């Protein structure tokens, strides 16, 4: 039984989110197809349609937008069939560039929350593990930084925890990334390659982690979309020691307990000493150790 780590990021545009977070969900290959099938059924059950057919995606910042909460709360909670019918009307009006009616806004907001709640239940049911590393949004790279072509410390910690997860169950794992043409993501891929091929620690961890990532289009991959939602929720509504930025309380209410239960403690070894660490890690300064 091998694992796949579906990865995404949040806050890297340095606009509205308090942290830069990179990570996602690790899931066994055996659980992948059952999870994908269940996510498709959940989407149909929540919206009455597949959002991709209407030019929309299951993105965290869209499903959990402040307006979605406001729309969901402007009426009583709808029965499933009524919600799906009104959602379809909402989506079809969007195609026609017509303004939706009030109850259709309500239905769409409630469908978004239904999707998020169901997604966390499915992640739990299919044995997913959340792995992520976060740094402050205002982190500044040191002047004349000499390690530009290598992974930052927060990213090293992320793969250290993935390795610990795999080592603990004697499995190997792949990395799956959102297919993109962004310049910064291409740079990340080069740093990833250098880490696994040119550093002693990276080469050792390549005994468990296949160092060549796979790419998928996020709008066609439920696991990547789930990873996007999870990382968004960590950024906006979940805090570990050292993270003191305010949370969006409605996001925390929907996700914090799930995230707490979906992270794991893994055994890591440094200088011959074993210790336990959670798979969600905060790094106050990802450049600190290399400044010395």
Question: The tokens of 182 are what?
Answer: 């962004």
pLDDT digits (tens, 9 = 90+) for 178-236: 876 566 667 888 888 999 999 999 999 999 999 988 888 776 689 999 999 999 999 99
Q: What is the total count of domains within the chain?
A: 1
Q: Rounded CA gap, 56 and 54, in Å?
A: 6
What is the Cα Rg of the chain in Å?
A: 20
What is the predicted pLDDT for the residue at 188?
80
Return the closest-CA partner of residue 122 out of 239, 266, 278, 258. Answer: 258
To the nearest whole number, what is the mean pLDDT of the chain? 92
Q: Are 235 and 282 in contact (CB under 8 A)?
A: no
User: Going by C-beta distance under 8 Å and a sequence separation of 6 or more, which residues neighbour residue 289?
Assistant: 153
Roughly how many angstroms between the first and final C-alpha of the chain, as a whole number? 41
Which domain covers residue 225, as residue numbers?
3-291
Return the closest-CA partner of residue 68 out of 116, 24, 20. Answer: 116
């Amino acid at each position: 039984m091998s694992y796949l780590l579906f990865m995404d990021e949040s806050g890297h545009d340095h606009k509205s989110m308090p942290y830069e977070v990179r990570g996602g969900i690790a899931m066994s290959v055996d659980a992948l197809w059952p999870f994908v099938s269940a996510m498709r059924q959940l989407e149909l059950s929540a919206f009455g349609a597949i959002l991709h057919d209407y030019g929309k995606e299951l993105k965290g910042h869209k499903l959990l937008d402040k307006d979605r909460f406001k729309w969901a709360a402007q009426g009583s909670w709808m029965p499933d069939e009524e919600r799906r019918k009104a959602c379809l009307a909402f989506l079809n009006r969007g195609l026609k560039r017509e303004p939706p009616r009030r109850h259709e806004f309500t239905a769409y907001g409630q469908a978004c929350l239904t999707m998020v709640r169901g997604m966390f239940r499915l992640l739990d049911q299919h044995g997913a593990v959340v792995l992520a590393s976060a740094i402050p949004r205002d982190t500044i790279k040191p002047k004349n930084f000499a390690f530009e072509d290598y992974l930052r410390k927060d990213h090293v910690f992320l793969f250290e925890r993935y390795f610990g997860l795999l080592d603990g169950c004697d499995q190997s794992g792949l990395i799956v990334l959102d297919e993109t043409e962004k310049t910064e993501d291409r740079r990340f891929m080069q740093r990833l390659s250098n880490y696994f091929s040119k550093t002693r620690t990276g080469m050792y961890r390549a005994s468990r982690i296949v160092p060549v990532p796979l790419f998928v289009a996020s709008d066609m991959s439920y696991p990547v979309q789930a990873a996007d939602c999870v990382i968004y929720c960590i950024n906006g509504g979940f805090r570990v020691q050292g993270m003191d930025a305010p949370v969006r309380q409605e996001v925390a209410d929907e996700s914090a307990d799930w995230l707490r239960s979906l992270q794991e403690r893994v055994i890591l070894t440094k200088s011959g000493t074993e210790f336990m660490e959670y798979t969600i890690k905060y790094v106050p300064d990802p450049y600190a150790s290399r400044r010395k």
